Amino acid sequence: MIYSEKVMDHFANPRNVGEIPDADGVGEVGNAKCGDIMKMYIKVNDGIITDVKFKTFGCGAAVATSSMATELIKGKPIEEALKLTNKAVIEALDGLPAVKLHCSVLAEQAMKAALADYYRRQGVDPALIIGDLSAPDTCEI
Ligand code: FES
């Protein structure tokens, strides 16, 4: 299996690993295909994601995609984070082997679950903004 240099870099030196104790939103999801688990924490100020961290019991591709996803949404408005797809994360990593594409879904779903939690805490129904949060077990590519 060939991984891109970017995937290897984000796997070996993952960005934003950890937890945020006073997070404004926390999302935890599991991958139906492999049983791996991902937890993501976000801090929001004035509609901007000021900090994001993740922890995973997952494979190298899950670590790399989550690392890249957190880098892509950190410092961005929530609306932009909501538009981030696993496809965009894979592109930013210069691709993933086909058998590992499903791993990238974990990062996208954890991020959306954290955003949904944030909206819930604000008293807003996340379904109105994010839509269906049920995790697909296949990726969109
Ligand atoms: Fe489970 Fe990659 S094999 S997330």
Give the domain ranges of the chain. 5-129
**Which CATH number, 3.40.50.300, 3.30.930.10, 3.40.50.620, 3.90.1010.10, labels domain 5-129?**
3.90.1010.10
Is 139 tagged catalytic? Answer: no
Residue predicted with more confidence, 31 or 115: 115
- Burial class from Cβ neighbours inside 10 Å (0-12, 13-18, 19+) for residue 37 reads middle
The dihedral through the CA atoms of 122, 71, 52, 66 has a sign that is positive
- For the question of residue 103 being annotated catalytic, the response is yes
Q: Which residues contact 12 (CB under 8 A, 6 or more apart)?
A: none
CA distances from 73 to 2, 42, 66 (A): 27, 10, 11
pLDDT computed for residue 141 by the predictor? 39
What Cα–Cα distance (Å) separates residue 74 from each residue in 48, 80, 101, 120? 8, 10, 23, 20
pTM of the full predicted structure? Answer: 0.90
Which residues line the pocket of ligand 1, CB cutoff 6 A?
31, 34, 36, 58-59, 61-62, 103, 106
Q: How does strand 25-30 pair with strand 48-57? A: unpaired
Under the banding of pLDDT at 50, 70 and 90, the label for residue 139 is very low
